[in-house]
Structures are given as C-alpha cells and as structure tokens.
Amino acid sequence: MPSSRLPPNKILSCGVVVVHFDGERYRLLAMRSFASWDFPKALVTSGEDPLQIALEEVREATGFSDLELNWGEDAFRETLPFEDGSVSRYYLAQSKTAEVTLRVPPGSDSVEDFEYRWVTLEEAEDILPPRLALVLDWVGQQLASGAR
C-alpha cells in the first residue's frame, strides 16, 4: 500500500468527493465558496495524514461523520499541478444520507457566500472548474466499476 504521508516540498490540498445513491443514480456533493464550486478540501501540512485531513474537512463543512470509503482508503485522484506547483487530491466516499448540515467557516461575513448541491456527473461538469475534469472522469470510472 502506498504511503499516505505528504512528500517533502509538495503543496497538497485533500478533499473528498462525497456521493449518495438516490435510488436511481449517484449524485455528487458540490460546494460553493463565494464564486467557486469544488468539493470540500483542506490544505495538508507536513506530518499530517491526507485522508484524515480530507475526512475532517468534510465533517466540518457538512456534518457527515460516517462516510464509507467503498472504493478503498488508498484510492484517490490528483489534479494536474497549478501554476504554483500545488496539487489537489480527492478521495471518493459514499454517504447513506443526503442531509447536509452546511457549516459556514468562522469569520465569514455572509451565509449567502456558501451553498451546496447534489449533482449528477453531467451537472458537475457544468458547474465545476475544468481543472477537476480528471477527477470527474476518475469518479465516473469508479462508480461504474462498483465498490470494492
């Protein structure tokens, strides 16, 4: 199993693509912070476990504490590096419920700056930035292959 620790000098944010099966298909939890749509994620510092940071961020942002890593704890997809060399890593987890408790970060001026949506893969392609296309392709492949 590959090491989940952060390599030296790598700027890494880790998050989770949360999916929920609504009886017909999987939906993904997309979150908006100001004008930007993404999946919940946080910066990982040296010595921290990326998966644990990602799961903690989801819990803090949404209230989900019982996500199931049905595709494996070592299964993730990273974005291509940004101009500053930073990378975002996303794990895939399933929620049994679609009930989100949206938590606005402390110090935020307005609740209107934050929202969430449960979206299909196709809808996600429309609202998420192009840099997440590799992640969405990977999520689609994982969902099509079924849980491990």
**Cβ(116)–Cβ(102) under 8 Å?**
yes
Contacts (Cβ under 8 Å, ≥6 apart) of 134: 77, 79, 80
More confident position, 50 or 108: 50
Average pLDDT, the chain: 89
pTM of the model: 0.89
- Residue 82 has a pLDDT of 87
Residue with tokens 């979150």: 31
For residue range 59-101, list pLDDT tens digits in order: 999 999 999 999 999 999 999 998 888 999 999 999 999 999 9
